[in-house]
Amino acid sequence: MMGASTAAWGGVARSEAASAAEYAYLRQLVFEQSQNVLDASRDYLFETRLSRLLRAHGMTHLEELVQLLKVKRSAPLARSVAEAMTINETSFFRDGRPFELLRTELLPRLIEARRTTRRLRFWSAACSTGQEAYSLAMLLREHFPALDGWDVVIEGTDFCGEVVGRAQSGRYQRIEINRGLRARHIVTYFDHADEEWTVKPELKRMCRFRQANLCASNLPFSETFDVVMLRNVMLYFNQETRKRLLKQVRRLLANDGVLFLGSAEQPTDMTLWTSVLAGGTAHYLPKAMSGSR
Ligand SMILES: C[S@@+](CC[C@H](N)C(=O)[O-])C[C@H]1O[C@@H](n2cnc3c(N)ncnc32)[C@H](O)[C@@H]1O
């Protein structure tokens, strides 16, 4: 029931918080859509993160949304709820060490190994607004000019359509540009107008962004990758989901490819991976797979 005390909360009139049952319903819905496990101690986030969605549907209270979903669950609405609950925190060259290790050790080895096919594939899985993919593109252009003329693609995928749209636009605000980029990167790889910095076409051409759920039974790729960055997303999944996902990632990684996880993340099943500590960071090399891929 709505209470008497109403206060502004993220632009939406807020009376009493939603009930425990309503929060539980929303948490379950998010889990079904994106496999993200939300902690009940952070239920307050529903109010702020869903305020825009509520407004767009002419609602003011979470309980109205829950009612609507219960009475007439529309797939797009359920999906929008889950997308709005994703945490999209990212930055250029986040935790620089993986990029440094790629530059000094891993890419020279991979480039040598691909010198006949002249083809390299990167996957920024859970790419958010695209900074990780564009960081890879800058690294390649800045340090590996010999790749000019090679077939190089950086795929970026994310569950949340809004961030994928932003990644595709390649447009960033000052606060985003100031996180992780050196002055020379900004000058060389961005066009600047007013308060917006846009990735130059030569970087954009190297990157392809699309929406994809990492937990779907089939990921939208048929080719294998040489480098997979699966960073800072597994922490939102439970053990079972992580295990399933890493099995899929293993199938999509070349036998001599490289996997990076977030600095607080580890593979669940070490029968698939060899962990290597180098350059102050861990990366994972696939072990030979038994049976068919
Ligand atoms: C914290 S960001 C990490 C971004 C980037 N990988 C990094 O390390 O900076 C987590 C991203 O994972 C995405 N995500 C969450 N669940 C997902 C799923 N099931 N499938 C694909 N992406 C998902 C979110 O939308 C969000 O953009």
Give dist(CA 22, CA 62) in Å, integer: 8
Ligand 1 surroundings by CB, under 6 angstroms: 34-36, 86-90, 94, 126, 128, 132, 158-160, 163, 213-215, 231-233, 236, 262
Give the residue among 87, 181, 95 at the shortest CA–CA distance from 129. Answer: 87
Is the CB of residue 53 less than 8 Å from the CB of residue 46?
no
SS3 114: coil
pLDDT one-digit tens code per residue, 238-291 = 999 999 999 999 999 999 999 999 999 999 889 999 999 999 999 999 998 765
Residues of the chain below pLDDT 50: 1-15, 292-293
Q: Given the structure tokens 């609405």, which residue do they identify?
A: 77
Q: According to the model, what pLDDT value does residue 180 have? A: 95
Best of 128, 263, 281 to mutate for ligand 1, by most ligand atoms within 8 A of CB?
128
Contacts of 210 (CB under 8 A, 6+ apart): 155, 156, 157, 164, 220
CA of 3 to the centre of ligand 1 (A): 36
**CATH code for the structural domain at 7-84:** 1.10.155.10
Fold entry, domain 97-286? Rossmann fold (3.40.50)
What's this model's pTM, rounded to 2 decimal places?
Answer: 0.93
Contacts of 235 (CB under 8 A, 6+ apart): 262, 264, 265
Q: How many CA atoms lie within 13 A of 249 on its CB side?
A: 33
Contacts of 11 (CB under 8 A, 6+ apart): 51, 52, 55
Q: According to the model, what pLDDT value does residue 293 have? A: 46
φ, ψ of residue 78 in degrees (nearest 5): -60, -40
Which atom of ligand 1 is nearest the CA belonging to 262? 8
Q: According to the model, what pLDDT value does residue 290 have? A: 62
SS3 31: helix
Which regions of the chain carry the CATH code 1.10.155.10?
7-84
